Chains A and B, each alone.
Chain A
Amino acid sequence: MSWRPVSEHAVSAPERNTRILVIDDEESIRRALKSILSSRKYEVSLAANGAEGIDLAIETNPELIVLDLTLPDMDGTDVCRELRTWMTAPIIILSVRGNEHDKVSALDLGADDYLTKPFQAGELLARIRALLRRAESRIVQPPEIQAGELTINLARRQVSSKGGEVPLTKTEFEILALLVQNIDCVVTYRMLAEKLWADKEDRDPQLLRVHVSNLRKKIEPNPALPRFIHTEPGVGFRFTAE
């Protein structure tokens, strides 16, 4: 049951060396990340603080950035804001349990996903792959996505499960489409709300939960125990095909 785009643009292992910039003040984390990523044939550059990180980002033009939120010289969220003024490469935030607030504001400022320390190497690699894949698919989007028994055709706006069509409301489809386009990546409440409701006044997270709940009832094999749409408390949702 793996994610399988129907198009031929799968990027399971980097064909060329993808450049990743790691910004973290902890020497041991930098060392571990360098070892994990280099062995996967990523080209890794390391920065120990925010200023150095921004310099290296300009110099090496990385395709993905791993950014620690707690840095000695400046706030991780500020680095994020700074980087987003000119670059579009995905940013993964490393946070510790407890600073949920910083995490959410970094995501709002343009970071793409987060990992809570301590994390497993497998988790980090999965997130990196998902984000790189997403960056790629922004150029050529697969028209149809398969997740378990669920088939989602974005172009035709059709969802089917076990061969039968699943009727979705317009809002439900919009939510599902955004989640699926960002498969394995976190989608924040804010991203969803901005996509769904142009009017700021309507952006009620509670209403969003109701729509997601209804969506789950239609597509989840066991809606009481969601398998596809996972809640990231305080942040948003994540669609996985597992």
Chain B
Amino acid sequence: MLFREIRRWAETHAFLFAPGLVGVATLIFIPGRELLDKGHWSLLYLLVISIVASVAGSRPSFVAAVTAFLAWNVFFLPPYNTFKVDDPMDWISLGVFLVVGLLIGLTSGRLREREALAVSQEREMALLNKLTGRLLAIQGPLEMAEELGLEIEAVFSPRFIRLHIVDEAGNRTLLFGMKRELEMDPLEDDFLNWVFDKRKGVASPAAKSVNLHAGSPGGSGDILPHSSVFRAVSRSDVFLPILSSSGIEGILHIGERRSRKPYTWNEVQLLFASARMAGTFLERNRLDESARQAETLKEGDKLKSAIFSSVSHELKTPLSSLTATISDLLAGDMDWDPAHIRNELQSVKKDLDRLSHSIGSLLDLSRLAAEAWKPDLQWVEPGEVLGWVLFRLEAAERERVKVDLPEKQPLIRVDFQQWGRMLMHILENALSYSPSGSQVVIGAQNTGAGFETWIADEGPGIPDAEKEMVFETFFRGAYSTLLPGGTGLGLPIAREIARVHGGTIRIEDNAPGGTRFLIELPAANVMETGE
């Protein structure tokens, strides 16, 4: 830790550190001047130069070499404390010393730069690796922007990060803004527009030293300095287009570092590569989204054509018999007696009821499709809803229904009309799929785990294989051909209503025979009343 701090200090104050270290060494060396030969001291000075070179790099080590050259001359070559040299051979030693000292600086400085490069490359690799890994697991653009922002923040600590999404027309939406409280620069819009128009980045990196990415996207031509975009503008933030194969997806704007240290060319390239990755992600996400929409549309089309065929059947059948019956009654060639007319009108009424019922189901379905199916929840008494349902049945059918409700009922939280319509669909199903005159029992109780309503009939029952299928749209079961009416929509609608209430519907066999529908409403929607 201490070493690292010394090193950091040495790096930032290189030109103080180099002569300083030589000076300190000289002060230590002077008391022992007579212990070693003058030539040995030069070797020790070379050691000091090496340390400077390895810690602070080339140029400080040149300073150290010159300082050490002078110090060796003045303090260790007789006569002491002057630049004079007695022995002419010492001039040769001095010359060699200076050359070796400078060479040490040069070589170790290069080594050091290589090392720094290796470190930054490693850091880049790590960043890109991490990003790739995370982007694969990410769902949406916002999450992606947050990940990217966090990574950039961790590596570069900029003052802010903003990610704008752009559409084809160039309209921008700020998807993500880390530290967005920072004031927007008045020129920011101009830069963003420029980046969108030119599909190029803007950055003024400190040194364009080693261009690792020459030739790859984001090569030198793709990023221009601020001053070449707007004359005489000098800034250190970075604007990068988020490019994908289909064009520009967004713009990444990164503020200057909190340490004010300018970005290097390699760092800008790294940011560009990250932006590119974000671009690929955004493009993929966009394409996935449109593929999903196309899929939904296709599903919708399928549903529509299924509805269409069911509707044509359900509407045409009663319509044809209506047309036939009525045109026959109107035909002038017969003198119908009133009893016959009445009889025919009865069947007309039946057809009309069937039409009305089909249209009602279609209305339910269209609301369901329009996602307008949000229940308006209120606390109601189960009997209140049931009463509403029963009074909507034909008197003859109402006679068939036996109600088995306990005297004391809890309140349930449902949408009164929707819950009623759900019960109506199941009740009508039970009434029409069981022999006329047979009894249908509807009952309810609070089980503690929820509110349970059951509707049991004495019909033929539903085979296990079909117990789930009956809830599928337009499934009408094996005996549907034997029984009139039914769009095959009632039970799917009922299940959908139960679902939006957080409840379930399932089918059990009724003992001794028939079908028993069980509707469960979760306990959260049930409240026992006082008394």
Contacts and interface: CB of A to CB of B under 8 A. Distances in A.
A223 interface: yes
Interface stretch (B26-34, B63-71, B386-394): B386-394
Contact of A231 (B352, B356, B407, B416): B416
Interface string B382-401: 11111110110000000000
B39 interface: no
Contacts of B405: 224-225
A98 interface: yes
Contact of B387 (A97, A100, A225, A234): A225
Interface in A168-225: 206, 209, 213, 223-225
A118 interface: yes
A231 B386 contact: no
Given A97-B360, A118-B356, A224 B409 contact: yes
A118 B360 CA distance: 10
Contacts of B386: 224-225
A100 to B, nearest CB: 8
B363 A230 contact: no
Contacts of A213: 381, 384
A233 interface: yes
Contacts of B381: 213, 224
A61 B76 CA distance: 130
Contact of A209 (B352, B379, B409): B379
A17 to B, nearest CB: 27
Question: For chain B, which range describes its interface: under 10, 10 to 19, 20 to 34, or 35 or more residues?
Answer: 20 to 34
Contacts, number: 51
Contacts of B387: 225-227, 230-231
B378 interface: yes
B417 interface: yes
Given A98-B363, A224-B383, A230 B356 contact: no
Interface string B364-380: 00010000000010111
B367 A206 contact: no
Given A98-B363, A224-B403, A225-B403, A234 B417 contact: yes
A231 B405 CA distance: 18
A209 B416 contact: no
Contact of A206 (B379, B416, B417): B379
Judged by DSSP, the binding face of A is loop
A28 to B, nearest CB: 13
Given A225-B405, A231-B388, A98 B367 contact: yes
Contacts of B409: 224
B417 A225 contact: no
A226 B383 contact: yes
A108 B212 CA distance: 77
Interface in A88-113: 97-98, 100
Nearest to A227: B387
B420 interface: yes
Contacts of A100: 417
A226 B382 CA distance: 11
A231 B380 CA distance: 10
Interface in A8-43: none
B118 to A, nearest CB: 71
Contacts of B417: 100, 233-234
A98 B367 CA distance: 9
Contacts of A231: 380, 384-385, 387-388, 416
Contacts of B363: 97-98
Contacts of B380: 209, 231
A4 B403 CA distance: 29
- Which of A206, A226, A233 has the largest number of chain B CB atoms within 10 A? A233
A90 to B, nearest CB: 23
Nearest to B384: A231
B416 A224 contact: no
B388 A230 contact: yes
Contacts of B406: 224
Contacts of A97: 360, 363
Contacts of B416: 231, 233-234
Contacts of A230: 387-388, 391
A226 B356 contact: no
Contacts of A225: 383, 386-387, 390, 403, 405
A107 B379 CA distance: 23
Nearest to A224: B383
A223 B383 contact: yes
B514 to A, nearest CB: 22
Nearest to B444: A224
A63 B270 CA distance: 85
A213 B382 CA distance: 11
A233 B379 contact: no
Contacts of A234: 376, 416-417
B8 to A, nearest CB: 70
Given A225-B387, A225-B403, A230-B391, 17 more contacts: A97-B363, A206-B378, A209-B378, A223-B383, A223-B407, A224-B382, A224-B383, A224-B405, A225-B390, A226-B384, A226-B387, A230-B387, A231-B380, A231-B387, A233-B417, A233-B420, A234-B376
14 contacts: A98-B363, A118-B356, A213-B384, A223-B407, A224-B403, A224-B406, A224-B407, A225-B403, A230-B388, A231-B384, A231-B388, A231-B416, A233-B420, A234-B417
* Leading 9 A-B pairs by shortest Cβ distance: A224-B383, A233-B416, A224-B405, A233-B417, A226-B387, A231-B384, A225-B387, A225-B383, A118-B356
